[in-house]
A = this chain, B = another copy of it.
Amino acid sequence: MSNCCDKREEIFRAALELIAEQGFHGAPMAMIAERAGVAAGTIYRYFENKDALIVDLFHEIDDKIGAVIMQDYQQAKPLRERFHHIFTTLARYFVKHPLHFRYIEQFHNSPYGVEFKRDILQRKTGDCHIYRDLLEEGVAQQVIKDLPMPILFALAFGPLKVVVRDHILGFVALEDELIDKLMAACWDGIRR
């Protein structure tokens, strides 16, 4: 079987680059194959079809981000410090991996994304627990405004999404210092 996982990685990388930069339209299987250095048919030895490739790649990225967040997350620290950690870690990850951010955006703004969001909010699965628990705890302690969870979520992380997008498109330079200021402003938005 030689190095069977090498090609799978290459296909992932090629799909990530093309889809993140051009969207799903601009990423035909033939082009993904070419950039990965394999033949078109080879992709189907590793993935059932294009949909499976797209969904698998999303979960790969999503898991990696979850792992990075959890890596230095300390449940014992005060609320605001935990928020600081999550926010800045997320921001720095996206700045460091713009293709991951763009891919996630493409994914969420597509038929795949809607189905995925339904799963999250209904089955309450995945690593959104961390964010939600944090906010709920803040509400219980009367540190954070008493608003519905989706509203708090939007206030806490909505601006980050917009700003990272602007950063990648070159409209702002998202330095560490600016990330801190943005985080502080979002905290002002959700705190009582």
Name A's B-contacting residues (CB within 8 A).
23-25, 105-106, 109-111, 114, 117-118, 121, 145, 147-148, 150-151, 153-155, 157-163, 166, 169, 171-172, 178, 181-182, 185-186, 188-191
Report the minimal beta-carbon distance from A94 to chain B, rounded to whole angstroms.
13
Given contacts A154-B166, A163-B151, contact A109 B105 (CB under 8 A): yes
Contact of A172 among B145, B148, B178, B188 (CB under 8 A): B148
Distance of A106 Cα from B171 Cα, bound (Å): 21
Most buried by B among A118, A154, A182: A154
Contacts of A160 in B (CB 8 A): 154, 158
Given contacts A117-B169, A154-B162, A159-B158, contact A185 B109 (CB under 8 A): no
Distance of A92 Cα from B114 Cα, bound (Å): 23
26 A-B pairs whose Cβ atoms sit less than 8 Å apart in the complex? A25-B111, A105-B109, A109-B109, A114-B169, A117-B169, A145-B181, A145-B185, A147-B181, A147-B182, A147-B185, A148-B178, A150-B171, A150-B172, A151-B172, A151-B182, A154-B158, A154-B159, A154-B162, A154-B166, A155-B182, A155-B186, A158-B158, A158-B159, A186-B189, A188-B188, A188-B189
